[in-house]
Structures are given as C-alpha cells and as structure tokens.
Structure 1
C-alpha cells in the first residue's frame, strides 16, 4: 500500500510540474497511460517495420524493450526477482 501511495504522490507532483515548467526534458510530461498508448499503437504498427525489412538490429532493440517492460511489470506485480 505504501508503494501505491508513493506512486500516486509522484504522479500528482508530475501533473503539477507540467503546468509550470518543463518536466524531465519532455514537454508535456507523458503519463504512464500516455506512454502505454503510444507503445500499443507502435506495436500494432509492427514498430514501423514490414516483415521484409526486419533485421537483427531490430530484433535486439525489441528484446531490449521487452526486457525493460518485463522489469517494470515484475516490480509492479512483485514477480520475478521482485517477488516477496
């Protein structure tokens, strides 16, 4: 519960900061929902690659994205190395 409270507090502070100044280099700051929507749209578009154009660099990049997302979901749901 404490983590949820801290997350809500951080998001609230980010919303407040967005109205007054640049936040963390991005303007306006992206909420978690906005980032997920953008990633979902990019995924639906096959990350802007046709099957004929995919190379091993693309595979490595997508694996990097997948690993970071897995790390985030493991932390959020207390799974993997973040399990209690």
Structure 2
C-alpha cells in the first residue's frame, strides 16, 4: 500500500495489526514525507522540503524586489525512497 503521508500509513499499519495481519509479511506499506517515527520503521518517500522552501523564498523575494518580472518556471524537487522494514523485498537477497 502506498499512502498519502506517513501518518495515514501508521494508521493503516495499526488497523491491519488489530485485524491480525502483519507488516510486511502480509502487506507492504510505504508512506510519504519521511517524518521521524520512533514506533515503527516505516518505508517512506522523502522530499527535500527545506531546500524547496529556500528556493521558493528566494523566488518570492526576487519577485517582490523586482529582480524577476512575472516569469514562471517549473521546479522539481528530487525525492528519495527510504526503504525500511515495512516493505518486504520481492526478490530476497
């Protein structure tokens, strides 16, 4: 299961555990945001939010102070999949 964020992923894991299923033996779970969790080693997609915020703030200040006149550009942040024990490998090594 791929969840919208890590909080939903943890809720899903708790629900499946309460139903007698085990992660990752019965179901692999991946979250999004890579928040710090001490209760379960959740696999998650991490995005560089600090770097993205810094770049957006720089663009905003450039626009406010007239260094950039109305141009728009697409910005892509480099995400990273952090694999932990909530995912069972398809091909064991």
**Is the TM value for this pair above 0.5?**
no
More strand by share: 2
The one of the two structures with greater contact order (alpha-carbon pairs below 8 A, sep at least 6) is 2
TM-score scaled to structure 2, two decimals? 0.27
More helix by share: 1
Determine which structure has more spread, i.e. the larger CA radius of gyration: 2
